Every structure is written in C-alpha cells, then in structure tokens.
Amino acid sequence: MNFVVSSATLSKSLQSISGVLSTSNTLPILDNFLFEIKDGVLNVSASDAETMIRTRVDINSSEENLKICIPAKLLMDILKNLPEQPCTFKIDSSNFEIEIAYDNGKSKMVGFDGDDCPKTPEVENPSTIKITGDIITSAINKTLFATGVDDLRPVMSGVFCEFSPESITFVATDAHKLVRYTRTDSQATSSSSFILPKKPLNLLKSTVSSDEEVQLEYNDSNAVFTFGDIVLVCRLIDGKYPNYEAVIPKENPNVLTIDRLQFLSSVKRVSIFANKTTHQIKLKLAGSELSLSAEDIDFANEAKERITCNYSGEDLEIGFNSRFLMEILNNLDSTEVRLEMSEASRAGLLMPAESNENEDILMLVMPVMLNR
C-alpha cells in the first residue's frame, strides 16, 4: 500500500513525540514508531511501556488500513536531512518492507508487525477535568525541579496532584525542599488525588502550548492528556504520598522581604566559598540588614556579604543548603520574595511578595544545622 506525506510535517510530528523513546528499552519493538492508518487518517505513536504518546498526521489518503512499526532512528534521520517535499511511502504488508521515495532518490528499510506493539491501556470510568495549557506548563515548571530521585521512594519522584471543586494543587518534594502550587481558577467536579511521573510531565511541558486547552482523564492507574492532535497516556505512580502539610510550619513570625535577583546574586557569590559537601550558607538577620556568609574550613576559604532588606522579627541566624536556595529563587519569577521563618531548626518558606489572586505558590527549604 502507498501513501504520500509532507517530509517537514512528518518530521515535525515525529520530533514532538520522540521524547518518549528510551535508549534502554527492554523490548526491541519499542525502538520503533507505530504507524496506524484507519479510514484515511494516519496516527503515529511511540511508547516506552509506561508512557505512550500519539499524534495525528495529514496524508494523501490511503484506501487501505495499515498497522506497521517503523525504526524510529532511521526514519527521523532520513526525514531530518530532506528538504520540504512530498514523500511516498510504499509498504509491503506481507514482509513489512518500507520504501520511502522522494525527489531525487529512495531509501528502504524493514519494519515490524504493528500488532507486536504493547497495547495502550484503556482508561475505564475516568474522571475528567479541563485545564488550560498555561496552567499546566506553569505548574510543571514550578514543581518538577523539586521532585526526588530516590528509587527507594518512587512516590516522591513524581508530582502529587490534588483536585477539588475549589482548586487544583500540585506538590513536589525530595525531603530537602518542597513546592506547593495551587490554582483557584481551575477546578474539578469532585475531590481526587494521584501522582504523575516525571517523564510524561517533561513531555507535556515541551509539547503543549499555553493557549491550548488540555483535557485530562484519570482513574486509579492511568492518566490521559488530550490536546491539539496529541494524546499522551501514562501510568500513575502507585503509593501513598507523604503528608506534606505536616512539614509546613504554620507560625512564622520572622519575615524577610527582599529583591529576588539581588538575593539570588548574593547567594551565588557567597556559595562559591561554601563547603563542597554541605554547600552550607549562613543567613544572619538583625534590624534591616541581612548578612550572608559561607566558609570552607578545609581550604581556609570564606565570603561575607551584607544587603539592606525589609525584615520584621527577632534577630536570627539560620543555615541553608545554597544549592536548594538557588534552585528555589530561580524558579520563582516575582520581583520580590518573602522568606518566612520561625526558628533556626525549622524550615524556611519562600513565596512571591506580590500575591496573584488565582495563584498560590509556596516553596519550602529545610535548614542545615550551623556549627557553633
């Protein structure tokens, strides 16, 4: 059977779904794109057995139906090096031979039976919510950096989603830092919660555009994101998410308000001289002055800086891991930030100084004990 497709259109579509392909697949069939033609419509999908992403591609319609696996790397490499032009795919269904003809030549490869691909799970009795692309991308950008990488605690390697009729909340933590991102301008019909893995979230971030509407369907085991021509299906992380509310200190009378970029620059400079194992940086707050200091006793390195700030509360000395502090400051985008603290042994809370009526961001960083 034959069909004709634009080389640039197909290449762009394959690029958008190729992020799911893994270099260490246990099943060789997963190194292929699955091409399915049904009723003149071409759907191309890629999978790593946990996550599947599918897109629709316009073709000069074919009368026959088709299901074939085509080697992903070969196909992407040939399309990448072709100028924009129509490509004719000639496929022999009996031996899965594929010939791609273009203006000044042709290439041949051998595919595999499409029926050998793992089946996409059906999401039965799903709950449904519609979320705009800008909320999804903002939630992913604000939370993904705080997820854990510990294989022994898989629940903390994903983003915890908590939906209710009032708001939707996304939470990520690695036990050193925590992010809670809440939106009140998007709601679900009923309360539910689940944990989304990191990989499909990265795929979403790179494929969804901010003005698209994303339909999310989910049950106890799987989630399906549908937007534009793309469908993304992923398996949820099984397990109970830790009670994150319990670690957020409720009473924080010591409040520092400071220009975010000034604070970040200062932390960056001082942290160069911090111990390379602990990355410890000390914040000393007194009156309207913030002193930052770090030292590496082993190499006799030290640095100190002073910044004028807006501080209300008791004099306080508190230590933080400078890498975590920088990550959090980089992922906040307000002009000024507020750092709320209760005491030197309890977590510090960072949030934008200017509040947004539909958005609530709270970032928490655990302290490190200071050597007296």
- Which residues 6+ apart lie within 8 Å of 78 measured at CB? 100, 107
Which string of b and e fits 56-85 if b means at least 16 CB within 10 Å? ebebeebeeebbbbbbbebbbebbeebeee
Domains observed in the chain: 2-116 (3.10.150.10), 127-176+183-245 (3.10.150.10), 248-368 (3.10.150.10)
Q: How far apart are CA 28 and CA 22, in angstroms?
A: 10
Banded model confidence at residue 16, pLDDT cuts 50, 70, 90: very high
3-class state of residue 261 by DSSP: helix
CA–CA separation, 170 vs 193, rounded Å? Answer: 10
Q: Dump pLDDT digits (tens) for 54-88.
A: 999 989 876 788 999 999 999 999 999 999 999 99
Outline where the chain has alpha helix (H): 7-17, 72-80, 133-143, 198-207, 260-271, 322-331
Residue 104 has pLDDT above 60, yes or no: yes
User: d(Cα 20, Cα 17) in Å, to the nearest integer?
Assistant: 6
Of the candidates 23, 39, 19, the residue with the CA atom closest to the CA atom of residue 31: 23
Confidence of residue 358 (pLDDT cuts 50, 70, 90): very high
Confidence of residue 131 (pLDDT cuts 50, 70, 90): very high
Alpha helices in 272-309 (DSSP H): none
pLDDT tens-digit readout, 300-349: 999 999 999 999 999 999 999 999 999 999 999 999 999 999 999 999 99
Token pair belonging to 140: 């992913």
Give me the DSSP letters along 125-159.
S-EEEEEEHHHHHHHHHHHGGG----TT-GGGGSE
Residue 26 scores a pLDDT above 90: no
pLDDT band at 214 (very low <50, low <70, confident <90, very high): very high
Residue 24's pLDDT band, with cuts at 50, 70 and 90, is confident
pLDDT score at 64: 82
Percentage of the chain beyond pLDDT 90 is: 88
Average pLDDT value over all residues in the chain: 94
Chain position carrying tokens 């029926």: 115
Residue 66 contacts residue 36 (beta carbons within 8 Å): yes
Q: Please give the model's pTM, rounded to 2 decimal places.
A: 0.92
What pLDDT band is residue 372 in, cutting at 50, 70 and 90? low
53 contacts 43 by C-beta, under 8 angstroms: no
Cα–Cα distance list, 232 to 130, 165, 279, 286 (Å): 15, 25, 39, 52
Per-residue DSSP letter, 228: T
The answer to whether 233 and 51 have CB atoms below 8 angstroms apart is: yes
pLDDT over threshold 60, residue 137:
yes
Whether 259 shows a pLDDT value over 90: the answer reads yes
Token couple for 76: 């992407």
Mean pLDDT computed over 128-147: 96
Model confidence at 46: pLDDT above 70: yes
**pLDDT score for 274:** 95
Compute the average pLDDT of residues 187-192.
92
